[in-house]
C-alpha cells in the first residue's frame, strides 16, 4: 500500500515536472532553441511572486495575475532583444548565450534576495488534503496536476486551432517559407518565448508553494524538465506530461527505497529510457 501511495504521489509530482517541461518543449518545437536558463527563469518567477506577495499581501496564487504577464513580457523582450540575434544553423551561440543568462539570473537573484531559502505561503492550501479510499491526496499536488493538464491541453488547442498556433507550426516546419508567406519570424519567436515564460511563471509559483527555493536550484529544475521532454518524446506535449509522470514516479519510488536515492533514481530511469528508447515514448519531431 505504501508503494502504491508513492506511485500516486509521484504521479502528482509529475504534473509539476510537466509544467517545468512544457515551456522548454514549446520553444524547442517552434524554434529549435534549448534554453539553458529555463530553470533559472522558473526560479526567477518564484522570486517575482515572492516580491508581489510581500509588497501587496495577496496570496501567491493571486500573484499569478501579475507574475504571468510580467514573465511573458520578459520572454518577449529577451527573445527579440538578445536571442533572435543568435538564432541560426549553428547551435553554439544560442546555447552559450542562454548559459550566460542562466549565470547572470542566478547571481542577480543571489544579490537581490540572498542565498537564504524562501517559500511562498499559501496558507490552508498547503496542508489541505482529500481522502480517497486509503490514500490522503494533498490538495496542492492535485491542483498542480490539474493545472498541468489544463496547460498542456491549452497549448495543444492553441497549436491546432488558432492563427497563432498555425504561425508556430509553419515556422517550426520551414522558417524561410513561413517568412515568405508574410510571417514575421522575429515576432513569432518573441510570442513563443512569451508563452513559454508565462507557463514558466505558473510552474515557478507552484514550485514556490510546494517547496522552499533558493537562487541555486534552477539547474536541477531545467534538468527535470528536460528529462520529462526526452522521456515523452520531442514535440509531443501530452508525451511531455507522461514523461513528467514517469520521472515523478521514479523519484517517489526511489525516495521510498532510500531518501538519498530520490533524485538519482529519476536520473537513472531517464538514462535507462535513453538507452532503450532514445527517441522517447511518443516522438513527433526529430531532435
Under the rule (CB under 8 A), what is the footprint of other proteins? 32-34, 36, 82, 85-86, 91-97, 99-101, 103-104, 107-108, 110-111, 219-220, 222-223, 226-227, 230, 260, 263-264, 267-268, 270-271, 274-275, 278, 286-287
By beta-carbon proximity to other proteins, the closer residue of 56 and 114 is 114
By beta-carbon proximity to other proteins, the closer residue of 38 and 210 is 38
Q: Can you say whether the dihedral through the CA atoms of 28, 30, 31, 37 is positive or negative? A: negative
d(CA 49, CA 59): 9
Which one, of 269, 268, 247, 251, lies nearest residue 260 by Cα? Answer: 251
d(CA 146, CA 255): 24
CB of 123 to other proteins, least distance (A): 33
By beta-carbon proximity to other proteins, the closer residue of 99 and 160 is 99
CB of 236 to other proteins, least distance (A): 15
Contact 252, 6 (CB under 8 A): yes
CB of 262 to other proteins, least distance (A): 9
CB of 101 to other proteins, least distance (A): 7
CB of 168 to other proteins, least distance (A): 19
d(CA 162, CA 122): 35
**138 forms bridges with which residues in the sheet?**
129
Q: How many CA atoms, within 13 angstroms, populate the side-chain half-sphere of residue 126?
A: 15
Q: Residue 132: helix, strand or coil by DSSP?
A: strand
CB of 221 to other proteins, least distance (A): 12
Cell of residue 121, nine digits: 505561503
Q: Residue 154, class by beta-carbon neighbours within 10 Å (0-12 exposed, 13-18 middle, 19+ buried)?
A: middle
CB of 280 to other proteins, least distance (A): 11
Q: Residue 4, class by beta-carbon neighbours within 10 Å (0-12 exposed, 13-18 middle, 19+ buried)?
A: exposed
d(CA 231, CA 25): 12
Contact 131, 8 (CB under 8 A): no
Amino acid at each position: 500500500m505504501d508503494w502504491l501511495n508513492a506511485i500516486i504521489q509521484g504521479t502528482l509530482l509529475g504534473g509539476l515536472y510537466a509544467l517545468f517541461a512544457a515551456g522548454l518543449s514549446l520553444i524547442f518545437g517552434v524554434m529549435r532553441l534549448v534554453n539553458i536558463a529555463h530553470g533559472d527563469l522558473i526560479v526567477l518567477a518564484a522570486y517575482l511572486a515572492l516580491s508581489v506577495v510581500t509588497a501587496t499581501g495577496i496570496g501567491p496564487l493571486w500573484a499569478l495575475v501579475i507574475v504571468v504577464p510580467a514573465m511573458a513580457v520578459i520572454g518577449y523582450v529577451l527573445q527579440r532583444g538578445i536571442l533572435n540575434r543568435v538564432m541560426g544553423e549553428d547551435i553554439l551561440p544560442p546555447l552559450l548565450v542562454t548559459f550566460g543568462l542562466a549565470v547572470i539570473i542566478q547571481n542577480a537573484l543571489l544579490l537581490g534576495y540572498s542565498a537564504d531559502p524562501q517559500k511562498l505561503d499559501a496558507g490552508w492550501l498547503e496542508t489541505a488534503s482529500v481522502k480517497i479510499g486509503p490514500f490522503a491526496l494533498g490538495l496542492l499536488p492535485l491542483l498542480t496536476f490539474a493545472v498541468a493538464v489544463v496547460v498542456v491541453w491549452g497549448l495543444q488547442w492553441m497549436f491546432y486551432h488558432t492563427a497563432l498556433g498555425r504561425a508556430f507550426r509553419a515556422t517550426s516546419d520551414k522558417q524561410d517559407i513561413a517568412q515568405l508567406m508574410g510571417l514575421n519570424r522575429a515576432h513569432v519567436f518573441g510570442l513563443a518565448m512569451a508563452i513559454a515564460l508565462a507557463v514558466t511563471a505558473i510552474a515557478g509559483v507552484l514550485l514556490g508553494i510546494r517547496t522552499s527555493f533558493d537562487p541555486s536550484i534552477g539547474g536541477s529544475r531545467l534538468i527535470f524538465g528536460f528529462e520529462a521532454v526526452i522521456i515523452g518524446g520531442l514535440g509531443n506535449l501530452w508525451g511531455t506530461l507522461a514523461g513528467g509522470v514517469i520521472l515523478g514516479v521514479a523519484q517517489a519510488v526511489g525516495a521510498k527505497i532510500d531518501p538519498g536515492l530520490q533524485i538519482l533514481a529519476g536520473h537513472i530511469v531517464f538514462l535507462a529510457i535513453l538507452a532503450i528508447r532514445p527517441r522517447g515514448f511518443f516522438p513527433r519531431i526529430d531532435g
